[in-house]
Structure 1
Amino acid sequence: MATRTSGEDWLRAWFLGLGLLALPVGSALAQAGPGATSPLPPLDTLQTPPQRTPNGVRYVFRARGTGPLPQAGQRVSARYTGFLPDGHIFDASEAQGGLLKFRVGRHEVIAGLDEVMLLLPVGSRVRVWIPAALGYAAKGVRHPDDDDRFLVPPGTPLVFELEIVGVR
């Protein structure tokens, strides 16, 4: 007898290495949007220890791409899901219309993403841990519908699942 899996079961499998980095549009968490919770596995469930940039961004390859490395000023396309340390999703490229596209090194994204993108060949899938100072720092991100709440509280480190799709 076939059983349906819940969105949470699907995400658990997803994070355990099935390699899908963007939430399908029809999934429960994609529909729930920011604030939804997903089960982030602990660091020790990843098979290799994370690498660290000089500024403290940590990252681990789920799959290393074979494409070119982005260069400063080039336009990168990526899929992402951003998480708070407790596993709440605060943003996802699928919720924003598909791919994130930005020019590397031009401060169009948070500093931690700008820094790590230069180290990720096209086709790579990675988990990235960004210190608060290289994310939204003391400012945080206010909830768009309620100025008394935050999507990302001030001083919060961030976790991203990324897939580098292209560079030009």
Structure 2
Amino acid sequence: MRQVLIGTALLLLGSWPLAGHAQRTLTTALPASQPDSLLARAITTASGLRYALRQPGAGPPARVGSRVTVHYTGFLAADGRLFDTSVQQGGPLKVRAGHHEVIKGFDEALLLLPQGSRARVWIPARLAYGAKGRLDPDDDAGRRYLIPPNADLIFELEVLKVK
């Protein structure tokens, strides 16, 4: 009984921030309690990509070869688990649209969103990492996936600049 109480106390204490240490909040999953209202109004492209504008952009649209600066947060569609975000990478992603520097679905989305746009994008597995998935680069054994095979993805995108 005493071991259970000590274990419970340690568990509870471990969840409190230590004095002098700021607590960071990071969204680690999409809210799963309610149906996605954005998906209900999403536009579906011929490839199967879906996107819904949160904020329309007033700037120029990207064309093939445009240099696009974008903030992104990526989630697994199956469980809402965060797998990558530009904020953790140290800043926005800079990419040439339509030059296959990113997965197909991300590339397609960049060509649909003008500068200043904020959108949620649903990318089917075949436009992402497909049957191969993506192994976790931090797993030295090469057995753990960052993105499992045949995983659909969801991205929150904010197009900061198009040149």
Fold shared, TM-score > 0.5 on shorter chain: yes
CA distance in 2, matches of 1:48, 1:63: 16
What is the percentage of aligned positions where both structures have the same residue? 51
One-letter identity of the residue aligned with 1:66: A
Structure 1 pair 164/128, CA: closer, same or farther in 2 (3 Å)?
same
Match status 1:130 vs 2:123:
yes
CA distance in 2, matches of 1:48, 1:76: 28
Conserved? CA contact 1:136–1:156, under 8 Å? yes
**Structure 2: gaps (5+ residues):** 1-22
**Structure 1: gaps (5+ residues):** 1-25, 31-35
Tell me the C-alpha RMSD between the 2 structures.
Answer: 1.7
Partner residue of 1:157 out of 147, 152, 155: 152
Q: Please, what TM-score do these two structures have when normalized by structure 2? A: 0.78
Runs of 4+ in 1 over 3 A off after TM superposition: none
Aligned to 2:63: 71
Match status 1:60 vs 2:60:
no
- Between the two proteins, the alignment pairs up a number of residues equal to 137
SS in 2 for 1:120: coil
Aligned to 1:19: none
Partner residue of 2:98 out of 101, 105, 119: 105
CA distance in 1, matches of 2:31, 2:162: 31
Deviation at 1:38, TM superposition (A): 4.0
Structure 1 pair 96/105, CA: closer, same or farther in 2 (3 Å)?
same
Residues 45-86 of structure 1 show CA distances to partners (whole Å, capped at 9, x for unaligned) of 239610011101000000101001001001100001000011
Deviation at 1:27, TM superposition (A): 3.6
SS in 2 for 1:162: strand
SS in 1 for 2:106: helix
